[in-house]
Amino acid sequence: MYRNHHERHRISRMGWLRAGVLGANDGLVSTASLIVGVAAANASHGSVLIAGVAGLVAGSLSMAAGEYVSVASQADSEKAELDRERLELETDDVGEHKELAAIYMARGLEPELAKTVAIQLMAHDALDAHARDELGITENFSAKPIQAAMASALSFAIGAVLPLLVVAVSPPGLLIRIVVAVSLVCLAILGAIAARVGGAPMARGTVRITFWGGLAMALTAGAGALFGAGG
């Protein structure tokens, strides 16, 4: 007996998962590294906090701007392709039917069936059929610059806020150790969650994100200590 149901595949989460994980990871690693580096240079507790807040604001805006420009460029390309396809549909309807049928034949349909499918789909919505099957553009995966920019800025800020909260409650003498420890734990959790949701091995994702985050903090702390000693 046929049951109408919708399967949920992990691939549908890859877009927002990638943006969310990258944003939160960048926010956590860059802000924690900045805090550790400034603290290693023997800056005051207040200066460390100010540097962290500045890093959060600058990083969030940078992520938003970069994501907006990138996705807006993609949206412009998609629009140009759709405009071109719309013109081709108006000027060469027969050729577009053949083109769509050829796509379906390449995917394994018999020639007659492919022609029938192409005719029916184009009768329903010709531009949508070509956008999806020829250009790979669908509503769910089309470029949305503003949403992408806001999501990147928000995820970065969420990651950056964690080490800032640690700075606010940590005693100056233990600030670096506590920030590093808490940041590594948060990175491990973030890596595990990302791997779990994405269907990847959790151990690999956890180790990878924790290693690179720890390396970034160590190198920044070394730079801060070097320049702090020189000053």
Q: Residue 63 has which token pair?
A: 């992520």
Q: Measure the CA angle with vertex 25, ends 21 and 31; round to 5°.
A: 150
Count of domains forming the chain: 1
Residue 10 belongs to some domain of the structure: no
- Distance between start and end Cα atoms, the chain: 77
Residue 74 belongs to some domain of the structure: yes
Residue 3 belongs to some domain of the structure: no
| Strands, E assignment, the chain | none
Mention every residue, 6+ apart, whose C-beta is less than 8 A from residue 36: 176, 179, 180, 217, 220, 221, 224
Q: Residue 81 has which token pair?
A: 């392709």
Confirm if 164 and 29 have CB atoms less than 8 A apart: no
Residue 47 belongs to some domain of the structure: no
Q: Supply the pLDDT for residue 4.
A: 46
Residue 231 belongs to some domain of the structure: no
Residue among 203, 156, 159, 212 at smallest CA distance from 182: 159
Q: Supply the pLDDT for residue 139.
A: 63
Cα dist. 170→70, 174, 201, 217 in Å?
38, 7, 34, 18
Residue 15 belongs to some domain of the structure: no
Q: Residue 218 has which token pair?
A: 């160590």
CA distance 88 to 84: 6
Q: Supply the pLDDT for residue 22.
A: 73
Q: Supply the pLDDT for residue 12.
A: 47
**Tens-binned pLDDT, residue by residue, of the chain (231 aa):** 434 444 454 444 455 566 677 788 889 999 999 999 999 998 999 999 999 999 999 999 998 898 888 888 877 787 787 778 788 777 877 777 887 788 888 787 788 887 887 778 777 877 777 777 777 766 655 567 888 888 889 999 999 999 999 999 999 889 999 999 999 999 898 888 777 766 777 888 788 888 988 999 999 999 988 887 555
Q: Supply the pLDDT for residue 61.
A: 92
Structural domain containing residue 88: 21-38+52-225
pLDDT digits (tens, 9 = 90+) for 77-122: 877 877 787 887 778 777 778 877 888 887 877 888 878 877 787 7
Residue 230 belongs to some domain of the structure: no
Q: Helix 111-133 and helix 45-91: axis angle, to 10°?
A: 140
Q: Supply the pLDDT for residue 33.
A: 93
